[in-house]
């Protein structure tokens, strides 16, 4: 092996199992949700009737996608063993899609191999219904991350009603929608709610014990025997439980911890590696949230970063604002009023990029907000540098 690669087999038995794409074949922590999905939603299929339409919701990383994949695969196996029922399941992620038009195009492509993008909406839907008609029998369409297409969108009531509206005949289409956006359901168009949400199944956040058992099961197969300590698993579970209760996050911590152990040529993943991993993953998340900020949010953050570089933080809102106007004179952008910059700082505080605290103003009036960076300075500068037009401002930060 050259100096460029490393054999990680002393730590990982089957590293693939730690990837996002892996679907577990056992989800005992979701027994209740799986039972409801099976008994209340899917069971009619075994009797050659279409399943009910359903809506699965809960925060990110709660096993919604995994549960749907797992149970639909099980159902397919059951059906394959019986004659007389024709079941087809179609998984479609709506991630990155902002309308039913795009989702319908993708569905047509999945079914026919041709993407009708660019054709009128009516044509696209006609092709979708034709493709479904060609399949026949019972078709279950899972629209994952369905909140992306917005809650006023027609596909959510059109698809479940395709047969009632004579778009298809002698066959049935049912829809299972999945979402991690809590406001999506509340604001869903009443007609869509009526068709889609015959059964609603909530996936509440995992607790530390559940995350520990998820990690134990996964690590048994993914890691070499005794390469992970119980303490490391307990810590990864506890850290994830305190934060989002997300299994995805817990698995990421453990995977990254394993990678740190491998990089250091150690044969066991320790609590220290988990802490390092958590720190790393959090910095990556923060980096992503900085990338996703609006320009004005980034400018407010840039002002604070520049003050931090000169050890001038915590800084009051007028101090941040003064640096902000210095910066906007270097960057081709309009500047906004102090009141609005303050509101951007509060937004940054909400997502954990900066932190603001009220302090008494001493002789000069009532309490004021003081702001400081809540992120790693280097990461923040690195991410802001990705934005080309901030480069000359960041040079000023390097040389105060």
Binding residues: 206, 218
In sign, the C-alpha dihedral spanning 348, 350, 354, 357 is positive
CB of 387 to ligand ATP, least distance (A): 27
Considering the complex, state which of residue 114 and residue 220 has its C-beta at the smaller distance from ligand ATP: 220
β-sheet with 137-144: strand ranges across: 87-93, 137-144, 171-179, 54-57, 199-202
Beta bridge partners of 356: 371
CB of 191 to ligand ATP, least distance (A): 25
CB of 20 to ligand ATP, least distance (A): 5
Does 20 help bind ligand ATP (rule: CB under 6 A)? yes
Considering the complex, state which of residue 129 and residue 253 has its C-beta at the smaller distance from ligand ATP: 253
Residue numbers in the known binding site for ATP are 206, 218
CB–CB of 38/296 below 8 Å? Answer: no
Residue whose tokens read 């679907």: 23
Q: Is 49 helix (H, G, I), strand (E, B) or coil?
A: coil
Residues within window 36-95 making contact with Mg ion, judged by CB under 5 A? 65
Does 240 help bind ligand ATP (rule: CB under 6 A)? no
Does 305 help bind Mg ion (rule: CB under 5 A)? no
CB of 343 to ligand ATP, least distance (A): 29
Does 313 help bind Mg ion (rule: CB under 5 A)? no
CB of 195 to ligand ATP, least distance (A): 22
Residues within window 137-176 making contact with ligand ATP, judged by CB under 6 A? 145
Considering the complex, state which of residue 27 and residue 315 has its C-beta at the smaller distance from ligand ATP: 27
Provide CB contacts within 8 A for 337, sequence distance 6+.
Answer: none
Binding segment for ligand ATP among 32-40, 60-68, 115-123, 278-286 (CB under 6 A)?
60-68
Considering the complex, state which of residue 177 and residue 258 has its C-beta at the smaller distance from Mg ion: 177
Q: In whole angstroms, what is the distance from residue 163 CA to residue 271 CA?
A: 56
Q: In whole angstroms, what is the distance from residue 25 CA to residue 245 CA?
A: 21
Residue whose tokens read 């009516």: 122
Q: Is 197 helix (H, G, I), strand (E, B) or coil?
A: coil
CB of 270 to Mg ion, least distance (A): 31
Q: In whole angstroms, what is the distance from residue 360 CA to residue 139 CA?
A: 64
Residues within window 189-248 making contact with Mg ion, judged by CB under 5 A? none
Which tokens sit at 389? 């037009």
β-sheet with 315-316: strand ranges across: 315-316, 368-373, 354-359
**Binding pattern to ligand ATP, positions 78-117, x when CB under 6 A?**
----------------------------------------
Q: Is 89 helix (H, G, I), strand (E, B) or coil?
A: strand
The residues that touch Mg ion, with contacts defined as CB under 5 A, are: 65
The residues that touch ligand ATP, with contacts defined as CB under 6 A, are: 20, 22, 24, 27, 29-30, 58, 60-66, 145, 180, 214, 247-248, 251
């Amino acid at each position: 092996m050259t100096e460029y690669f490393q054999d990680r087999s002393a730590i990982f038995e089957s590293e693939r199992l730690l990837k996002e794409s892996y679907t577990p074949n056992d989800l005992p922590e979701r027994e209740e949700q799986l039972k409801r999905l099976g008994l209340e939603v899917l069971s009619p299929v075994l009797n050659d009737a279409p399943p009910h339409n359903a809506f699965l919701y809960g925060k990110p990383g709660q096993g919604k996608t995994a549960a749907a994949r797992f149970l639909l695969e099980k159902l397919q196996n059951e059906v394959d063993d019986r004659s007389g029922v024709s079941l087809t399941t179609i998984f479609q992620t709506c991630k990155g899609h902002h309308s039913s038009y795009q989702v319908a195009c993708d569905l047509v492509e999945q079914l026919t191999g041709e993407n009708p993008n660019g054709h009128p909406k009516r044509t696209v839907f006609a092709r979708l219904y034709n493709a479904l008609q060609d399949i026949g029998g019972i078709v279950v369409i899972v629209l994952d991350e369905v909140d992306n297409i917005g809650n006023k969108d027609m596909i959510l009531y059109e698809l479940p009603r395709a047969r009632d509206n004579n778009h298809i005949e002698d066959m049935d289409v049912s829809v299972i929608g999945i979402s991690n956006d809590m406001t999506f359901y509340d604001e869903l168009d009443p007609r869509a709610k009526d068709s889609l949400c015959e059964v609603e199944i909530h996936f509440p956040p995992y607790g530390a014990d559940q995350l520990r058992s998820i990690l134990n099961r996964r690590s048994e197969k993914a890691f070499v025997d005794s390469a992970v300590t119980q303490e490391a698993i307990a810590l990864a579970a506890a850290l994830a439980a305190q934060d989002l209760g997300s299994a995805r996050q817990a698995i990421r911590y453990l995977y990254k911890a394993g990678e740190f152990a491998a990089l250091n040529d150690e044969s066991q993943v320790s609590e220290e590696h988990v802490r390092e991993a958590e720190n790393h993953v959090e910095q990556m998340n923060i980096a992503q949230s900085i990338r996703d900020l609006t320009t004005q949010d980034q400018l407010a953050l840039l002002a604070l970063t520049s003050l931090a570089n000169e050890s001038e933080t915590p800084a009051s809102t007028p101090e941040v604002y003064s640096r902000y106007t210095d910066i906007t004179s270097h960057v081709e952008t309009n500047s906004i009023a102090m009141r609005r910059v303050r509101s951007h700082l509060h937004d940054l505080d909400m997502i954990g990029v900066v932190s603001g605290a009220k302090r008494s103003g001493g002789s000069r009036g009532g309490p004021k907000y003081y702001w400081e960076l809540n992120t790693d300075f280097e990461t923040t500068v690195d991410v802001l540098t990705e934005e080309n037009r901030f480069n000359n401002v960041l040079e000023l930060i390097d040389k105060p």
